[in-house]
Amino acid sequence: MIKAEHLAAAAALVGSLAVSAPAAHAACDPGKAASELTGAEAQAVYDCIAADLHKGYATGDKRWIDAGFVRDYRDWTRASSLPAAPGFHGERFLVTWVNPTGADAYLDYAEDPIIPSGTVIAKESFAVGDDGKVHAGPLFLMQKVEAGVSPQTDDWYYMMVAPDGAPVAVEVMSACSECHQANFAHQGGLGYPVEEARIAR
Ligand code: HEC
């Protein structure tokens, strides 16, 4: 069971960690609050900001993060059919992509999946405020490394890139891994998109 209070607290933490870029997307503002948007309207917002969102993430030096992940994730398999409704990850809309190594395993959305090392998952995010304005959110990344490399995170590396492309240093255990492991260890640490947003393979 997901512990709602824990999720809310941790989601607030991730939200507060986000470096918010005052990106101007005025032409893409839906003009109503996130809670009032239909899936199709959220998708329209995403379509409008998608090019800028990726350009922002890809800008500048990625330092400890593999720049190839950030450059290429849009060529991977998309795992959510619409920007999944806000909830976790700081009340953001989320679009999830999985690289070729992991796409088959991830898109089964299995309990107890076998996730091959080399799997990389990228999750784009954006928020819509109560004022109806859209704001780019961070890019969240998970990389499955060889067994035994990072036992305390079940061999997942967690990374985050700000909307302006800056890699964000997070305390991976408390900011990412504890929530994923506490709630989704039975699913290999994966939360998966909400069911209505999942794309099956
Ligand atoms: C409050 C709990 C929580 C915290 C903290 C959290 N996540 Fe997640 N994460 C989730 C949930 C729930 C999902 C599935 C929901 C979705 O993607 O729509 C998810 C999904 C993901 C995914 C897509 C793969 C998957 O699990 O299906 C990535 C990548 C990801 N998170 C990265 C991160 C990173 C990086 C951090 C730290 C900066 C982080 N997460 C912190 C709850 C959390």
The pLDDT tens digits along the chain (201 residues) read 344 444 444 444 455 444 444 455 789 999 999 888 888 899 999 999 999 999 999 999 999 999 999 999 999 999 998 887 655 566 789 999 999 999 999 999 999 999 999 999 999 999 999 999 999 999 999 999 999 999 999 999 999 999 999 999 999 999 999 999 999 999 999 999 988 889 987
Residue 108 belongs to domain spanning: 4-197
CB burial of 57-77 (b: ≥16 within 10 Å; e: otherwise) equals bbbeebeebeeebbeebbebb
Q: How far apart are CA 1 and CA 110, in angstroms?
A: 16
Residue 136 DSSP SS3: strand
Query: Residue 42 C-alpha to ligand 1 middle, in angstroms?
Result: 19
pTM to 2 decimal places? 0.90
Residue 195 DSSP SS3: helix
pLDDT at 15: 52
Number of domains in the chain: 1
- Residue to substitute in 123, 126, 139, 144 for testing ligand 1 pocket (most ligand atoms within 8 angstroms of CB): 123
